[in-house]
């Protein structure tokens, strides 16, 4: 398949961790997706899109069976800098 963005014949199926976000929750979902090896453009089929919407809905309703794989932490002090110095 030719990439619609860069016009190179390097679109192939890859398994990627899709990051799906609902509110402050993030779930990584491994999915097989068509990806251009040259520019990284992704192509989603109907099945992929329906699965993403299903996962978003279940995540929103707290019905998704997930495992915790780490923590997200935020540095509590804002870092100030002068962009023009």
pLDDT tens sequence across 21-45 = 888 888 999 999 999 999 999 999 9
Residue recorded with tokens 């799906």 = 20
Q: Is the pLDDT confidence value at 72 over 80?
A: no
- The single-letter DSSP state of residue 14 is E
Structure tokens at 44: 């989603």
User: What is the number of alpha carbons within 13 Å of residue 11 lying toward its C-beta?
Assistant: 16
How far is 3 from 74, CA to CA, in rounded Å? 38
Question: What is the tally of structural domains in the chain?
Answer: 1
Q: What CATH number does residue 56 fall under?
A: 3.10.20.860
Q: What is the pTM of this model?
A: 0.69
């Amino acid at each position: 398949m030719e990439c619609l963005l860069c016009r190179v014949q390097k679109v192939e199926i890859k398994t990627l961790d899709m990051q799906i976000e609902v509110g402050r929750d993030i779930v990584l979902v491994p999915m097989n997706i068509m990806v251009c090896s040259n520019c990284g453009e992704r192509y989603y089929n109907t099945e992929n899109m329906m699965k993403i919407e299903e996962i978003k809905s279940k995540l929103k309703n707290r019905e998704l069976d997930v495992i915790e794989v780490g923590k997200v932490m935020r540095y509590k002090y804002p870092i100030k800098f002068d962009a023009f110095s």
